Structures are given as C-alpha cells and as structure tokens.
Amino acid sequence: MKYLLKCIWSLYLDKKLYEVSQKILSKNDIKANELREIYKEKNLYVINLMSSPGSGKTTLLEQFAINKYFSFAVIEGDLETNRDSMRLQKRGIEAYQITTGDACHLEAAMIERAYSALESSRKLENIDFLFIENVGNLVCPASYDLGANINIVLLSTPEGDDKILKYPTMFMIADIVLITKSDIMEYFDFSIENIKSNINKINPKSKLFVVSNKDKDSLNKIADYLIYCKTNNIISKHQY
C-alpha cells in the first residue's frame, strides 16, 4: 500500500513538472513569434548560431567582418564576460553582449531586450543580417526558439564525427550544418563521409558546408549562401 501511494505521488509530481515546463516553453514560443513579426517588418534576416564552446562561432563572424561580405550586427550570448562582443566591436561590428550567469542558453525574452537596445540606439539601420551567437552548448539552445529565420549549427573537426548522432536534437533543428576547422581535420580522423551519412539519417534537408576560417574560398561559399537565403527569404523548416 505504501509503495502504491509512493508511485501515485511520483506520477503526480512528474505530471506537474511536465505542465510547468510546457508553460515555460510556450511563454518563450509566444515571445519568439512576436520577434519573428518584428524582424519581418524591419526586413532583418536573423540567424541563430549554435555549437559547442570553441567551435569557431566568433571567429567566423570576425571573418565575415574582415571580408565585408554584407553588413551585420550581433547579439552575443555567454555565461560571463563581454570578450566576444569586444572582439567584434574591434572589427567595426555593432555587438550587444548578453551574459546569462548560469543559464546555458538564450531565451526569446533576452533577445527582445537586446534587440530593443540595438534598435533604440539606431544600430540596426542599413543592416542586412542580425546574427545571434548562442551560448556555447550543444544541448540546451536547441529547445529555445528565438524567432530566427534560420539556424546554423557548427561542429568543429576536433569534436569528432560522431557528435551528430550523439546530440541529435541540435542537428535536427539545423538548416545549415557547418563543419568548421577543416584545416586540421586530418589530425582528428574526422570523416566527412560519416558526417554526410549521419546527417542523412536525422536531418537530410539541412545544407552542409565544410569550412575553415583560414580558407577564404570556403568562407566565400557560406557567405554567398547566406545572401541567397536572405534574398529568397528562406525560412527555417524546423519546429521547436
């Protein structure tokens, strides 16, 4: 009898926990939908960059700035420090830093505040793209819609070619998968064939690019594709 009561109580708690988490998620979804409308109205193409820490998100943005492919601003997300926004500001890019403290992801309400700050100081005028560099983490950011037009997920070669199957949620919401640090691929037995076959299993519609921040040709290709996405108003096919 005591065991039965314990089971019922545990089921009740699980149900409550599920209801609370659904409420939190739907609050984020409402805000994300509001942001989507604002971006549309302002003709701003928004790209959510997600990956593990250190896979090359900020370096990629620095290269976009150096090569002047297009105009852009950045909302940076990190647990602590404004190091990434300062790196971009040094390259002449408007960058707003969010520090999340102990939160492992950005939420739509945080983006709304950052967007308002950039907008009210007129830093988004004549800007083609707004990049959001999410907190470095291959798990949590995948669950939070930020209203972005598309999601780019980076995977650097030192992380290993098995990560797509081990962290499928993140790769399932990717519109573009960027394999980064291709210049050092051979040292990590990283196989692009394995990557292609794994992506095919979980998200065959995503577009794959292999890039090195040290190789301009590979950067040109991704920049051209982003311009194509904006010109053709490509919208993410993935639901959160």
Ligand X SMILES: Nc1nc2c(ncn2[C@@H]2O[C@H](COP(=O)(O)OP(=O)(O)OP(=O)(O)O)[C@@H](O)[C@H]2O)c(=O)[nH]1
Instruction: State the residues that interact with Mg ion by CB under 5 A.
Output: 57-58, 84
What distance in Å separates the CA atoms of residue 117 and residue 216, rounded to the nearest whole number?
33
Tokens at residue 66, please?
Answer: 């150096």
Those residues with Cβ within 8 angstroms of residue 46's Cβ, 6 or more apart along the chain or in another chain: 35, 39, 129, 130, 131, 132, 146, 147, 148, 149
Minimal distance, residue 169 CB to Mg ion, in Å: 21
CB-nearer residue toward ligand X: 49 or 226: 49
**Interacting residue with ligand X among 32, 48, 50, 55 (CB under 6 A):** 55
Burial 107-139 (b: 16+ CB within 10 A, else e): bbebbbebbeebeeeeebeebbbbbbbbbbbbe
**Interacting residue with ligand X among 39, 59, 104, 119 (CB under 6 A):** 59
Asked if 158 touches ligand X (CB under 6 A), the answer is no
Name the one range near ligand X by CB under 6 A: 1-9, 56-64, 88-96, 188-196. 56-64
**Interacting residue with ligand X among 48, 85, 180, 206 (CB under 6 A):** 180
Minimal distance, residue 107 CB to ligand X, in Å: 17
Phi, psi of 11 (to 5 degrees): -65, -40
Cα dist. 80→76, 85, 100, 118, 160 in Å?
11, 12, 7, 20, 27
CB 112 within 8 A of CB 35: yes
CB-nearer residue toward Mg ion: 85 or 203: 85
Number of residues that bind ligand X (CB under 6 A): 17
**Interacting residue with ligand X among 65, 95, 136, 206 (CB under 6 A):** 136
**Interacting residue with ligand X among 28, 58, 151, 206 (CB under 6 A):** 58
Instruction: Write out the residues near ligand X by the rule CB under 6 A.
Output: 51, 53-59, 84, 136, 180-181, 183-184, 212-214
